[in-house]
Amino acid sequence: MKKKILIVYTGGTIGMTRSENGYVPQLDSFIEQLHTIHELKDEKMPKWDFYAMDPLLDSSNISVDEWNKIGEIVAKHYANYDGFVILHGTDTMAYTASALSFMLENLNKPVVFTGSQIPLCEIRNDARDNLITALMIASNSHLHEVCLYFGGKLLRGNRSIKFSANDLIAFMSPNYPTLADVGIDINYHTAAFMQPSKEPFTFQRLKRIPIGVLKIFPGIQFDLFKSLLSQPLKGIVIETFGAGNIPQDGKELLPMIQRAFEQGTIVTVTSQCVHGTVSLGTYEASSGLKQAGAVSGYDITTEACVAKLYYLFSKGYDSNKIKELMETDLRGECTL
């Protein structure tokens, strides 16, 4: 039986056309362009339906409300399709894919994000190939997770980062193997796939939780960031050096973190290095963070860490539970 896939178009370069102010999403012309791709009607391709979100957005405008809308569409049509392809702008695709990986609980079907660096309307483009391959991947019934296909690589969604603003291979998954490499064939690495869940699929909406990200840099004057840490932020991601280190004269930061923690704020430590993991306590420069109550994000990306904080707070857990779950691998987003 032919597989049935729902394509959800959210906006992004893939379907954009030129305007006086640069590229903008344009539904009619994108649909027209899609009809010119005869391969999409090939008998080897799955059947597909197309759903366009309204309004179509440049992904720099996509946030919690749109994550909820995308999740709702998948949840509403979950039983009627074998897989989903989400067409999304590249700029925040890794954030949305991460968020959906948490929101779609006990997912047992493939949800494949893709987009392009060059719109389908241009003669030279990566849109056509990314779309065709994503549709084929979304027909693979062994995939039970949110993934991201781009430029020949199938990545776990919550492990992906956009690392190039220009290259057609724009995404990477620095701390987890690719789920598939696409050349002449689609070579799946099934050992890296998520296991199917035995529980029924459910969907968790997210709330607009106040979250902050603080990047440490040499010479950072922590007292200037006092207000950030004392405001009613519920989750703070601290992007530290290397394995979780902060400057020694950052001692002022520690009581701030402690106070934040006592007020129920979850401070999670990630690394500015794209590859490797946080290991609190390996150096003196990081042990204070642990003592002050910060949790380790291990090798999680900042994108997935932000999404995970939104998710756990939206679940309504208390701060002790959130602290525990931030240090737990929920969807293959971190290596403990």
Which residues in the 104-133 window bind ligand ASP by CB under 6 A? 115, 117
* Minimum distance of ligand ASP from residue 120's CB (angstroms): 12
Give residues with Cβ within 8 angstroms of 147, minimum separation 6: 97, 110, 111, 112, 113, 137, 154, 155, 156, 157, 179
* Residue owning tokens 């002790």: 320
Helices (H), the chain: 27-35, 64-77, 93-103, 127-137, 226-230, 253-262, 284-291, 302-314, 319-326
* Minimum distance of ligand ASP from residue 169's CB (angstroms): 13
Among 27, 58, 122, 327, the residue binding ligand ASP under the rule CB under 6 A is 58
Asked whether position 91 contacts ligand ASP by CB under 6 A, the answer is yes
Asked whether position 60 contacts ligand ASP by CB under 6 A, the answer is yes
* Minimum distance of ligand ASP from residue 104's CB (angstroms): 21
230 touches 210 (CB < 8 A): no
Residue at 171: amino acid letter: F
Asked whether position 89 contacts ligand ASP by CB under 6 A, the answer is yes
* Strand segments (E) across 173-250: 180-182, 186-188, 202-203, 211-215, 235-240
Sole window of 52-60, 179-187, 295-303, 315-323 interacting with ligand ASP (rule: CB under 6 A): 52-60
Site string for ligand ASP, 307-326 (x = CB under 6 A): --------------------
Give residues with Cβ within 8 angstroms of 222, minimum separation 6: 250, 252, 253, 256
Residue nearest to ligand ASP (CB): 89
Sole window of 89-97, 179-187, 265-273, 316-324 interacting with ligand ASP (rule: CB under 6 A): 89-97
Among 90, 173, 240, 301, the residue binding ligand ASP under the rule CB under 6 A is 90
* Minimum distance of ligand ASP from residue 62's CB (angstroms): 8
Q: Could you tell me which residues are beta bridge partners of residue 149?
A: 154
266 touches 311 (CB < 8 A): no
Any catalytic annotation for residue 13? yes
Tell me which residues are annotated as active site. 13
Q: Which residues lie near ligand ASP (CB under 6 A)?
A: 11-13, 58-60, 89-91, 115, 117
